[in-house]
Amino acid sequence: MFRRLYAWTMSLAESPRAPWALGAVSFSESSFFPVPPDVILVPMALARPDRAWFYAALCTVTSVVGGLVGYGIGALLFDSLGQWLIALYGYGDGVAAFRKAYADYGHWIILLKGLTPIPYKLVTIASGFAGYDLLWFTLLSVVTRGLRFYLVAGLMNRFGDPLKRLIDRHLNLVAGLTLLLLVGGFVAAKYLF
C-alpha cells in the first residue's frame, strides 16, 4: 500500500497537477482534513528538488489561507461545524481550557503548535473560537507554517538524493514512522489541547 502511494506521489510531482494537489491538501489540512501536506510535500520535493522552495511557498500560502477558513469556522460556526470537527478528532473536552490559555499564551500556542505534528486545524478553529486577534493570528501563521514547510524543503533540497535512497530502501519503516508521528500528533493534541 505504501509503495503504491509513494510511487503515485512521485509521479504526481512530474505532473502539471502537482502544485494544485499540494495546495489543496495544504489548504484543507489547516481547516478540516486530517492528513498533513508533508505526506505529499516530501515526495514531491524529493522528485523535484529544484522546485522544493516553490512547494514550500505554496504550502505556506495555502496553509495560511486554509487557516483563515479554520479561524472562520471557530469564530462564526463553532456551535455547529467547529464543535463537530473538534469532537470528531476527540478534543471536545479541552476547548474551554484552550480558550482560557489564549488569554495568556495565544502567540506561543500558535507558534509552537504550528511547527509540531499536532493538527493545525485544531489551532485555527480554536483561535477563531477564542477570538484571538486575526491580524496576529495571520502573521504568526505565516511565520510558523513558513518555518515548517521551508525546513522540510531545505532538508529535501540539501539531502534529497540520500533521503530518496533511504526512503526507497526502507519505505515501510519510513511510512510507519510517519504514521506514528501523525497519530502521535493527534494523541499529543488530546493531552495538550
pLDDT digits (tens, 9 = 90+) for 65-123: 999 999 998 888 878 877 776 677 666 666 667 667 777 888 888 888 877 767 788 88
Q: What's the CA angle centered on 147, arms 168 and 108, to 5 degrees?
A: 130
Question: Quick one: cell of 66?
Answer: 486554509
Q: Is residue 37 part of a domain?
A: yes
pLDDT in tens, 135-186: 999 999 999 999 999 998 988 888 877 877 777 777 777 767 766 765 665 5
Residue carrying C-alpha cell 511565520: 143
Model confidence, pTM:
0.79
Q: Is residue 5 part of a domain?
A: no
pLDDT, residue 31, reads 86
pLDDT, residue 13, reads 76
For the chain, give percent helix, strand, coil, nearest 5. Answer: 85, 0, 15
What is the torsional sign of CA 53, 138, 186, 89? negative
Q: Is residue 9 part of a domain?
A: no
Structural domains of the chain, count:
1
Residue 90: which domain range?
A: 32-192
Q: Is residue 19 part of a domain?
A: no
pLDDT, residue 182, reads 58
